[in-house]
Structure 1
Amino acid sequence: MFNFLKQLLIGRPLKSDQLGEQKLNKKKALAILSSDALSSVAYGPEQILIALITVSAAAFWYSLPIACAVLFLLTALILSYRQIIFAYPHGGGAYVVSKENLGINPGLLAGGSLLVDYILTVAVSVSAGTDAITSAFPALHNHNVAIGVTFIILLTILNLRGVTESASILAYPVYLFVLALFLLIGVGLFNILTGTVSTNPHTPIGTPIAGISLFLLLRAFASGSSALTGIEAISNAIPNFKEPASSNAAKTLTAMGILLATMFSGIVFLAYYYGIVPQAEATVVSLIAEETFGRNVLYYFVQGTTALILILAANTGYSAFPLLAVNLAKDKFIPRMFTVRGDRLGYSNGIVILGFASILLIVAFNGHTEQLIPLYAVGVFIPFTLSQSGMIVKWLREKPKGWQAKLFINATGALISLTVTVVFFLTKFTQVWPVLVFLPAIIFLFYRIKKHYDAVADQLRVQDKATAVPIEGNVFIIPIAGITQVVEHSINYARSLSADQIIAVYIPFEREDEKKIEEKWAKWHPDVRLVTLFSPYRSISIPLNRFVDSVERKAKEANYQVTVLIPQFIPKKGWHNFLHNQSGLLIRTTLLYRKNVIVTTVPFHLKK
């Protein structure tokens, strides 16, 4: 039943040699890897206006120069990440660049930041998409969390089906969103040029505004820079591209940058010219679309595609998180389970963990996007800064042909990214302070995991076979609950292993039971030693552990191996297990961590 449902949801398993068929071309890659960056157009400009409104709506003309600064940063990051793509064609992005050029700790700082950032990518994207839906249908406002969780579950299932299948589905809403935004911007500009839009709603550029300050402008700039999240995803996911992977990734990154710059600047300009004021229950894009088209089909087309891409932008996280996790897992900083491919050749464990963590965030923040965006943005600008700094070190060390120009590009990107990061901490400390707690905690956890793997490897490494103590004989201890075929089967199995001594152990709770089992055993198996351990407090594990201790001490002196054989009958139907005491499981759990005792289960399968 489970396998049927699994195949129904995620499809039939794929062979390992079909991995090449799961690679992405540029069109599909643009849809699946750029959706996060492109979708940020729906909330990036709004964040600028929210920062400026603290002075007054008259300050909105400052959104234009702020937008120009954001576009300058975008250009620097696009050029910088193009260089990273060609310098590190196997992917890994900021983690690999920082680790190789700045050291392990900066690499882990970048990797930990991005892991958290991709979780936030899913949570923020789905929350923003839900906001877009509820802006069009206000009656759904009270169900934001339920809607968001439902979408995350659907996205997780979609990604478990494989990269190419999810990309094929996601390409349509992404390109529809681009079409909708270009249509909105085009019609809006046409209305402005033809004079059908009043010039009264907006303040003329250059108007002096009382109360404006450099601090406020920097805060608005940092808020608007949240539109640049997701740019690094392509450099992390180069292995997902068809050959030539680096060239295709670089072209996709450039196309993404052009689309993002055009839509971002268009929305900022229309919001300024229309005099749009952010509202709690309506997004800026929704207000611009209503002003441009009215509440007609085109308005709902814009809102529908915006909601879709905001939700599906989470797929950038689903594409990049598993690949980053693979790099960290290969370096033994996170569990190795992240390196295992699932039935559909994707890194299923990473996909499932990402979905689960994102749902927790949605529930914890009650689906409020504005609470997540600052944390989300600062989490990505830390890796931006580290990756660009790492490239500076690389060019200074290697000095390839044309390194001066490359150095200038990365230095510019590093300086601006560092500035944005500092501004976030200065202007939004109350919202981003958790970064100062969870990043050190994550790095500490990375090192603990690494220490464990190193310790395991050191203990498992074959060094000198002569140091191993030879086993001279075997002692088998068989805990029994009565005289049954299950016990008979276990005794026969122990004898087949050339046991030097077999000890059956019975733990009665009543003296009468003790006498009965001893009398029956003497007639049934007099050749096998029976030990009864009366337990007045009805404990099985305590007397059994004490007995195993005593046998183990004697066996160690003679170089004998102690093995506990646990008889267990297996019901024909799975649900029958709930009808029986699982004492065998309890015994196995308590004995499994003993250093010098082997614990094994001898199953006896029932036919009825």
Structure 2
Amino acid sequence: MFNLPQALKRLVIGKAMRSEELGETLLPKRLALPIFASDPLSSVAYATQEILLVLTVGGTAFLYLTPWIAAGVVALMVVVVASYRQVVHAYPSGGGSYEVVSRNLGPNSGLVVAASLLVDYVMTVAVSVASGVDNIISAFNGLADYRVPMAVGFVAILAAMNLRGVRESGKAFAAPTYLFIGAILIMIITGLIRALFGDTPVAESAAFGIVPVDGKDTLAGLGLLMLGLRAFASGCTALTGVEAISNGVPAFRAPKSKNAAATMSVMGITAIVMFVGVTALALMSKVHYVDDACQLTGIAGDCSGYTQQTVIAQLAASIFGGTDSILFYVVQAATALVLILAANTAFNGFPLLASILAEHRYLPRQMHTRGDRLAFSNGIIALAVVAGGLLWLYGADVTSLIHLYILGVFTSFTLSQIGMVKHWNRVLADETDSSVRGAAHRSRIINALGAVTTALVLVIVLITKFTQGAWLAVLAAVVLWVMMRGIRRHYDAVADELAIDDPREESVRPSKVHGIVLVSKLHKPTLRALGYAQAFRPDSLEALTVAVEQDATQELERQWENLDVQVPLKVLDSPFREITKPVVGYVRTVRRTSPRDAVAVFIPEYVVGHWWEHLLHNQSALWLKSRLLFTPGVMVISVPWQLSSAPRADHPARRAPGSVRRGEPARAKDVPEPEKV
């Protein structure tokens, strides 16, 4: 029988993979780089832009701060990359910051990191996709009205690709990432060579003046410091996603730690080179980028209808000779692609972290389950739904979303570096080998420096972004932390409740078993249920019906007598035409009369083949089961009757391995071997 949903599922995610094929999904470094590092690599497309966006509130007066702020971002990138290389070697199991903090600072601190990272992964998807859509609109202004549908659609495509498995998504995303790196490096080299020979590129927006926000052009002292810190905090978006490699170490080929550390180094060097190059060219070409286009002077026509090109778009146009150049569209296409694919870092990091948290009983166990393609499908779907909702809620606007960003990642940076310092302290306390102690001392210095710098940035981000929307990210992380604690308490309470205290007492048999078969009509499903109940050989057995309509009940009694059914039929009165309440009340009465006895309730049920048939059958049975399951000492047993529309197990396409069709001789390979005891 053709199954349309199953066919569509196979079309989207591909053929199911066996569990032992997990090793075939491990990644070489060339695929791991675009999968785990596309976020920090792509951030060069908007990190410089965010710095300029903050500084231009004062007109052009404070753009001289840009190189110093960029230098601070680069220094921080070096420290963070060096610090996380230590994490990769010390904790190769893939927990990253969460594992480091949980082991060294305790589970509650670990949950703070986990909640922060989960929120940040969601924001990575939202910001990256929104920024990618911005670059598409920079090349094709007519698409501006379709910003939100495009963004949500890209999230759905990313989710579908990741549901096909880590390796397949890596193959699909590798080419655009490397194309972006190549395009940006060619743009930087071309622009610098032109500047070296006296032909410095000039951006389109260089001709526009900038009207400062009221009072912002005269900032000095503390006000100027706060402006600089706010610009630095925005520029630190370049560091998002750095920790994803430390979370994904298990996905690397052996030697895992060595390959992950090497990939992190390549990522750091490449990101720094591109960020410095883009920032230098933006200053040389005098790019002006503002929050509100009406701050620009010299625009022809209505400023409210003017769409600013992104910094990358302005640089590509000025370096390659305008928007008619094919290289301009190559840069824009590569930038848009990699920004959208940068969300793939989160699509790998979020499910991995959620899986570890589920294994530790902080998230639902379903998050630890691998799908048909050995990916953590539930985590991928959850991330796509939440990120898509954020894009819809905020209109896929980068400026609105960016304020919710980077807070979580710097929380995890800071706590993980503090945890690593404690880790090295423990190593130094136990180690006597001088060479190992020397390496531990160096590592401790690196992590201590990382802890101090990232803590400083965290404070800056909190101060400068909290009132602009970052409080929502803080609130989301707090809610998530409380929720995970509650989930862990629930799982712990269930485990305690189910633990065996006294095996003899827990395994004691009931004195008797009372069998009850629920009956509405006398037909084939009823007879099957009666026969099935008799096969159980209960100490007593009776059929039970509810007299909702007197005529129908009398007809049932007449048929029961005519067919000479050897099971007594008990009729319950129901003056208010209820079914569930009289049955549940009767079963509870039986239980109260004989507390040491068990009651087995057999319910005939239809098995249907179409979703809409569920609406026509089984509603009473489902409601009865849900009520009876809450009664201690009562077993509810469904006796299925397959309607003609239901798929049959003996259908050639659906037979279980080793099964034999009725009337077909068994072959040797069809007969299962006896189990060894």
Most deviating of 36-45 and 427-436? 427-436
Instruction: Report whether the alignment pairs 1:445 with 2:464.
Output: no
Task: Answer yes or no: is 1:161 the counterpart of 2:197.
Answer: no
1:373-392 to structure 2, matched below 5 A, reads 373-392=402-421
Rate the CA distance shift 1:272–1:209 in 2: closer, same or farther, 3 A. farther
Question: Is 1:527 the equivalent of 2:538?
Answer: no
Most deviating of 247-256 and 593-602: 593-602
Aligned to 2:179: 176
Question: Does 2:85 correspond to 1:56?
Answer: no
Check whether the contact 1:58–1:202 (CA below 8 A) recurs between aligned residues.
no
The structure 2 residue matched to 1:250, chosen from 258, 261, 272, is 261
1:75-224 to 2 correspondences below 5 Å = 75-197=78-200, 201=206, 210-212=218-220, 213-224=224-235
Picking from 577, 602, 607, the partner of 2:639 is 602
Within the candidate set 305, 309, 312, 2:341 is matched to 312
Q: Does residue 465 in structure 1 map to residue 503 in structure 2?
A: yes
SS in structure 2 at match of 1:53 = helix
Q: 1:15 to 1:56 in 2, by over 3 A?
A: same
Alignment partner for residue 238 of structure 1, among 227, 249, 256? 249
Counterparts of 1:498 and 1:555 in 2: how far apart (Å)? 18
> Contact 1:511–1:534 at 8 Å: present in 2 too?
no
- Between the aligned partners of 2:326 and 2:482, the Cα distance in structure 1 is 53
Distance 1:155 1:371 in 2: 22
Per-residue Cα deviation, 1:125-168 (whole angstroms, up to 9, x for no partner):
11111111111111111111111111111111111111111111
The SS at the match of 1:118 is helix
Instruction: Give the Cα–Cα distance (whole angstroms) in 2 for the partners of residues 258 and 333 of structure 1.
Output: 36
1:490 is displaced (CA, Å) by 0.4
Q: Say which SS state the counterpart of residue 503 (structure 1) adopts.
A: strand
Deviation at 1:459, TM superposition (A): 2.5
- Residue 583 of structure 1 deviates from its aligned partner by 1.8
Contact residue 194 and residue 201 of structure 2 kept, 8 A: no
1:528 is displaced (CA, Å) by 2.1
CA distance in 1, matches of 2:610, 2:486: 41
CA deviation after TM superposition for structure 1 residue 397, in Å: 2.3
Deviates more, 1:172-181 or 1:342-351: 342-351
Deviation string for 1:291-343 (max 9, x for gaps)? 22210211111110000000011111111112111221121111121222222
Query: Gaps (5+ residues) in structure 1?
Result: none
- 1:581 Cα deviation after fit: 5.3
Mapped to 1, the partners of 2:343 and 2:460 lie a distance apart of: 26
Amino acid at match of 1:467: E
Q: 1:513 to 1:91 in 2, by over 3 A?
A: same
CA distance in 1, matches of 2:105, 2:564: 70
Q: Secondary structure at the match of 2:551?
A: helix
- Asked if 2 retains the 8 angstrom alpha-carbon contact of 1:555 and 1:562, the reply is no
Q: Is the 8 A contact 2:93 2:249 kept in 1?
A: yes
Q: Give the residue type in structure 2 aligned to 1:277.
A: H
Amino acid at match of 2:635: I
Deviation string, structure 1 residues 542-576 (Cα, Å, up to 9, x no partner) = 222211211121231xx211111110122465554
Alignment correspondent of 2:19:
16
Aligned counterpart for 2:520 among listed residues 481, 497, 505: 481
Q: Which of 347, 357, 362 matches 1:333?
A: 362
Correspondence for 1:42 among 45, 66, 91? 45
Contact kept, 8 Å, 1:571 with 1:605, in 2: the verdict is yes
* Structure 1 residue 53, shift from structure 2 partner: 1.1
Query: TM-score, normalization: structure 1?
Result: 0.95
Query: Partners of 2:329 and 2:317 in 1: how far apart?
Result: 9
Identity of aligned residues (%): 40
Corresponding residue for 2:287?
Answer: 276
Q: What's the CA shift for 1:515?
A: 3.0
Q: Does 1:545 align with 2:584?
A: yes
- In structure 1, how many angstroms separate the alpha carbons of the residues matched to 2:139 and 2:89? 43
Say yes or no: does 1:345 pair with 2:374.
yes
Moved more, 194-203 or 62-71: 194-203
Structure 2 counterpart of 1:450, which letter?
Answer: R
> What corresponds to 1:290 in structure 2?
317
Residue in 1 aligned with 2:297?
none
CA shift for structure 1 position 106: 1.0
Q: Is the 8 A contact 2:191 2:319 kept in 1?
A: yes
Once the two structures are superposed, residues 89-126 of structure 1 have per-residue CA deviations (whole angstroms, 9 ceiling, x without a partner) of 11111100001111111100001111121122112111
Specify whether residues 460 and 134 from structure 1 end up closer, same or farther in structure 2 by C-alpha distance, changes over 3 A only. same
Q: Specify the alignment match of 1:401 in structure 2.
A: 437
Instruction: Please give the alpha-carbon distance, in whole angstroms, between the structure 1 residues aligned to 2:614 and 2:466.
Output: 54
Inter-partner Cα distance in structure 1 for 2:534 and 2:594: 18
> Aligned partners of 1:199 and 1:174: how far apart in 2?
27
The one-letter code of the counterpart of 2:248 is A
Structure 2 distance, partners of 1:567, 1:530, is 16
> Which amino acid counterpart does residue 280 of structure 2 have in structure 1?
F
Q: How big is the shift at 1:373?
A: 1.8
Counterparts of 1:572 and 1:157, CA distance in 2: 27
| Residues 24 and 536 (structure 1), Cα distance of their counterparts in 2 relative to 1, 3 Å cut | same
Say which is worse superposed, 516-525 or 192-201, in terms of deviation. 192-201
2:515 and 2:538 in contact (8 A); partners too: yes
| Cα distance change on mapping 1:310 and 1:341 into 2, 3 Å | same
What is aligned with 2:239? Answer: 228
**Structure 2: 5+ residue runs without aligned partners?**
209-215, 294-306, 429-435, 646-677
CA deviations on 1:185-223 (whole Å, 9 max, x unpaired) are 1121122222223789599xxxx9742511111111011
Answer yes or no: is 1:502 the counterpart of 2:541: yes
Rate the CA distance shift 1:155–1:55 in 2: closer, same or farther, 3 A: same
Normalising by structure 2, what TM-score? 0.86
Partner amino acid for 1:506?
T
Change (3 A) 1:179 1:485: same
SS at match of 1:563: strand
Change (3 A) 1:92 1:193: same
Deviates more, 1:354-363 or 1:577-586: 577-586
Return the letter of the residue paired with 1:33. F
